[in-house]
Amino acid sequence: MPASAAAPAPAVRLTGIGKAFGPAYAVKDVTLDIRQNEFFSILGPSGCGKTTLMRMITGFETPSEGTVELGGVHATGVPPHKRDLNMLFQSYALFPHLSVYDNVAFELKVRKHPRSAIPGAVRDALALVRLDGYGDRAVAGLSGGQKQRVAIARALIGRPSLLLLDEPLGALDQKLRAEMQLELKKLQREVGVTFVTVTHDQEEALTMSDRIAVMDGGRVLQVDTPEAIYERPATRFVADFIGTSTFLTGRLGTDGLAVAGLGTVPVPGHALPDGAQAHLAVRPENVTVARTADTLPPGGVALPATLQQTVYLGNATRYHLTLADGSELLAEAGGAGRAELPVGEQVWAGWDPERSRVLAE
């Protein structure tokens, strides 16, 4: 039988990467692979190290430790202009005194591209981002979304193997940002280039990404698909940062999680030992609120609670509840699942244990 073809080298391979500024590490011991032709997001709060990590991929920062490979080639000490990549900045970095055509063509002129081939390449790049006929327009007169498209066209015209995007939608209003999330994902599939975006916006990462790396404190806490990270977070931080969760804290036993003031709460399967301190994470959309315990779904958790506040969210209503131990629990319901309940009423809250998640303390 013929030997199977070797798997392609990852677009990016980081091995034990760290970056120290003086005695403090901005990034510590990061090892991950970014696959060819995937849309990959590095997600985390401000100051978590995600921008420093991106700058080590581009070559703008030199790692204090570890190695960088691009397309299977060692690149740790290679300067940015010799790496087969490009970068899209949040500010777009366009030249306001130049036309759309000249902004997009600038990349090829710097690279000494044959002069005769530039007009056709610019035309194709503008068509790719749906700006046909915009070449003669002044950049200063464009909308925010149009400026971003010009910046994308310029970044892709040289056909890099890797495009890095630094908070690419941060300068857009909410409606346009939602539209561009879908546009960027569609564009990435069309051009077949690996996109790596750095963002603090969870919705943006969940919407656009094939996989996400969640960072905090300079470390990568979890790398997985958007669905897996949302449904099966690896740590309390991930569960709290991605979407919304509420937590019950106690000690694990054979019957569930023993929580002071609440008793034993049933939990799903997990790998932690009996006697371990743990958190039980519950998403609001998985919690049902009812006036009586017998109207909750059978076989699940059922806890008495007091309704403290209701918040109308348009497509759903969020209920802020207080449990018997004084902890807060959030529930969310939409459509026919909404219950008209007065604030201060004694209610019952419940959920299927399999829709919760046990996390180490």
Q: What is the pLDDT of residues 45-100, one digit of tens each?
A: 999 999 999 999 999 999 999 999 999 999 998 999 899 999 988 777 888 889 99
User: Which pLDDT belongs to residue 3?
Assistant: 52
CA distance linking residue 336 with residue 50, whole number of Å: 41
318-349 core/surface letters (b: 16 or more CB in 10 A; e: else):
bbbbebeeebebbbbbeeeeebeeeeeeebbb
Cα atoms found within 13 Å of the Cα of residue 146, Cβ hemisphere only = 14
**Region of residue 337 (phi > 0: left; psi between -120 and 50: alpha; otherwise: beta):** alpha
What secondary structure letter does DSSP report for 182?
H
The pair of three-digit structure tokens given for residue 14, joined into one six-digit string: 């980081």
User: Which pLDDT belongs to residue 14?
Assistant: 98
pTM: 0.89
Tell me: pLDDT of 207 over 80. Answer: yes
User: Which pLDDT belongs to residue 335?
Assistant: 76
Tell me: pLDDT of 140 over 80. Answer: yes
Residue ranges in the chain assigned as alpha helix (H): 50-58, 100-110, 118-128, 144-156, 174-191, 202-208, 226-231, 236-241
Q: For residue 223, which amino acid is it?
A: V
pLDDT band (50, 70, 90) for residue 174: confident
Are 287 and 350 in contact by the 8 Å Cβ rule? The answer is yes
**pLDDT tens digits along 99-111:** 999 999 988 888 8
pLDDT band (50, 70, 90) for residue 348: very high
Q: What is the mean pLDDT of residues 146-172?
A: 87
User: Which pLDDT belongs to residue 182?
Assistant: 86
Structural domains present in the chain:
12-236 (3.40.50.300), 244-359 (2.40.50.140)
Tell me: pLDDT of 340 over 90. Answer: no
Are 41 and 12 in contact by the 8 Å Cβ rule? The answer is no
Q: What percent of the chain has pLDDT over 90?
A: 71
The pair of three-digit structure tokens given for residue 29, joined into one six-digit string: 């011991």
